[in-house]
Every structure is written in C-alpha cells, then in structure tokens.
C-alpha cells in the first residue's frame, strides 16, 4: 500500500503544481554604468496599457502611489545630489484558459539620468487572475518592484553608516 501511495501523491502534487496559473517572476539589471553613490529616484513617466487601451486615470493613480512610496522610503537620502528619473510602464493583456479569464501583467521600471544613461531596470511578470485595474493590486505590485529598485541604494547607505560608525568609535 505504501508503495502505491507515494507515486500517487507525487503525481497529484505535480498535477496541482503545473495547473497553478498565478505566477510571478522578477528580473533585475543594475549598475551599468555604476549608479552615482548618492542619488535620489524620482518618477518621470508612467504609462499603463490594459488590453491595448491606454489608461490615463490608472497611470495617474500609479504615479501618485509610486511618488508617495519613493518619497517616504528616501527620506534618509536627502543628501543625494544626483536625481535618477524612473519611467514606469505597465502592460496587461487578458486571455482565456479553459472557460476562465486570466491576465498577463508586465511591469517595467527603468532608472536613468537626464542624458538617457540607464542605471537600473526592474521588471515583473505576473500571470493569473490578478488585475492591474484594482488599486490594491497596483499598490502591491508597484511597491514590490520599487522596493527591489531601492534595495541597492539602501545597502549603500547601510555601508556608509557602518563606516561612519567605525570612524567615530576609532576616535
């Protein structure tokens, strides 16, 4: 009985895992060229396209959510002289699977300077029943992507604070 139960459970688990449609993936590209040590991110351009229709109202909401999040998370970085502009692009397409409606969402954040030099790119790929039309989903998705963008900046700040702390202790 035990010999049969294990393969059956394995097949059921593999079927359940492969039939799950909601998936998220994230891809990053940073520091080519190397980002300025002290910099601030500022939202520049936001575009949202849902099923081939440009959504200006959703873009305005997303701009407000992203600006609020960046400002609140960068309060410690007030000394940053260099400003990196962040362009956010969102594309959602709906598709049918069996008899159910699903969405494929692509979110891209590109950080660049005024000359157009790209310093970082964060992308998110989401498939499932989630929709970018819902404000709660906009908030959840964009904050996760922006936090990934801010991660390197926060790491550099921690290293600077650690060095300053060590210098003070040495005196």
Considering the domain boundaries, does residue 12 fall inside one?
no
Say if 99 falls within a structural domain: yes
Least confident of 15-29, 53-67, 134-148, 149-163: 15-29
Per-residue pLDDT band for 74 (boundaries 50, 70, 90) equals confident
Q: How far apart are CA 124 and CA 23, in angstroms?
A: 10
Q: Does 160 map to a domain?
A: yes
Q: How many domains in the chain?
A: 1
Q: Is residue 69 part of a domain?
A: yes
Question: What is the structure's pLDDT at 23?
Answer: 63
pLDDT confidence tier of residue 8, bands split at 50, 70 and 90: low
User: Containing domain of residue 91, as a range?
Assistant: 22-170
Average pLDDT value over all residues in the chain: 81
Provide the CATH number for the domain around residue 79.
Answer: 3.30.160
pLDDT in tens, 23-67: 666 666 665 556 566 678 899 999 999 999 999 999 999 999 999
């Amino acid at each position: 009985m035990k010999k049969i139960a294990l393969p059956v459970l394995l097949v059921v688990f593999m079927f359940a895992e492969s039939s799950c449609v909601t998936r998220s993936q994230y891809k990053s590209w940073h520091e080519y060229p190397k980002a300025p040590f002290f910099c601030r991110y500022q939202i520049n351009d936001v575009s949202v396209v849902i099923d081939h229709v440009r959504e200006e109202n959703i873009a305005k909401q997303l701009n407000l959510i992203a600006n609020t999040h960046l400002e609140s998370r960068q309060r410690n970085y007030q000394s940053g002289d260099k400003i990196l502009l962040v362009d956010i692009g969102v594309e959602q397409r709906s598709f049918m699977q069996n008899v159910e409606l699903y969405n494929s969402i692509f979110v891209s954040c590109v950080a660049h300077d005024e000359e157009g030099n790209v310093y970082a790119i964060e992308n998110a790929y989401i498939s499932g029943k989630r929709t970018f039309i819902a404000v709660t989903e906009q908030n959840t998705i964009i904050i996760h992507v922006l936090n990934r963008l801010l991660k390197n900046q926060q790491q550099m700040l921690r290293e600077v604070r650690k060095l300053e702390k060590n210098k003070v202790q040495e005196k």
